[in-house]
Copies of this chain bind each other. A is one copy, B any other.
Amino acid sequence: MRKIAIDAMGGENAPEEIVEAVLKAKPELPEDKFIFFGDEGKMKELLPADDDQIEIVATTEVILDEDEPVKAMRTKKDSSMVVAANWVKEGKADALLSLGNTGALLTCGIFIVGRIKGVARPGLMPTMPVESSDDGFNIIDVGANATSKPEYLLQWAEMASYYAEKVRGVSKPRVALLNNGAEFDKGDDLHKEVYQLLQDSSLNFTGNIEGHELLQGKADVVVTDGFTGNAVLKSIEGTGSVIIHMLKDGLLNNGVKAKLGALLAKDALKSVASRFDKDKYGGAVLLGLNSPVVKQHGRSDARAVYYAVKQIDKILTEDLTNTFKQEFSK
């Protein structure tokens, strides 16, 4: 039986929504066992007793969003996140899911779970929606690394392409490089060099992609340095939420006419929202570690966590980590 470590205490809706999500996914995933790390009293209250697919590991501390990542890992040794990461390291669990402090999870991932030999730097990779289809695209790295070197980006592209193919079912994923123009000689030295590395690789490299094209569905995998990727991901999310917020506000606070209009247009507006539902793609994967570590948004509800659980099952089924281990140890 495969074992998925669940950090039950991370995120705004912990542990209730996390438990609800796992219990929903459980019957669909009979091969998986779920190990919950968290407050024993709460866990026993929320979880069924005598279930072969469920195990509870009592922890007494919680890493908070405001905690400094490295310090938190070192001092909160009995936190749900640190203990869960240690179980993965020791082989008592095969993957880790957390909704907690992103920086702390990256730190635990890199320093406890550890990176695959031959992988220079792990990269953080969410799946984002696109305008034209339900396929979405992967973007890597969105912030695990403040400084990036050309060879990191090549490895991220290789791992992300394999992920897109095996986990998302995309045949011959189109890989593009986020850059400041379409031509091959665009960008700074880093991006010019990565362009050549991708060009010379066996990946299905389709060239540069620019910021305004990201949501248009022109690539299945976008590779970027971690600094730019972080800024771009947050800008896209921020722009989306500002526009949606202003629309809601405009429709609800502009008199009866606007409200009635909103009511009539509800289904149409919902269909737009559902296309931009990134929850269905699961969480962000920290690619390049000895075992899969997935970070789901801290504000996620049970539905989002459900998809992240299914995503981890798929990553384990496809045995991504062992493939990467073989590939990069060459």
Chain A residues in the interface with B (C-beta under 8 A): 103, 131, 143, 146-147, 178, 180-181, 186-189, 191, 210-216, 224, 226-228, 230-247, 250-251, 254, 257-258, 260-269, 271-272, 275-276
Q: Show 26 residue pairs from A and B whose CB-CB distance is below 8 angstroms, ordered by the A residue.
A: A103-B181, A131-B242, A143-B180, A146-B180, A146-B186, A210-B231, A210-B234, A211-B230, A211-B233, A211-B237, A212-B237, A212-B241, A215-B238, A228-B231, A236-B239, A239-B243, A243-B244, A246-B275, A246-B276, A250-B265, A251-B265, A251-B269, A261-B266, A262-B265, A264-B264, A265-B265
Q: Which residue of the partner chain, among B188, B211, B250, contacts A269 with CB atoms under 8 Å?
A: B250
Q: How far is the CB of A69 from chain B (nearest CB, A)?
A: 10
Q: How far is the CB of A67 from chain B (nearest CB, A)?
A: 12
Query: Bound state CA distance, A188 and B143, in angstroms?
Result: 11
Query: Bound state CA distance, A233 and B103, in angstroms?
Result: 26
Known contacts A211-B235, A211-B238; is-contact A246 B131 (Cβ 8 Å): yes
Task: Give the 8 A-B CB pairs with smallest separation, nearest first.
Answer: A211-B234, A261-B264, A261-B265, A212-B238, A211-B235, A258-B268, A254-B268, A250-B268
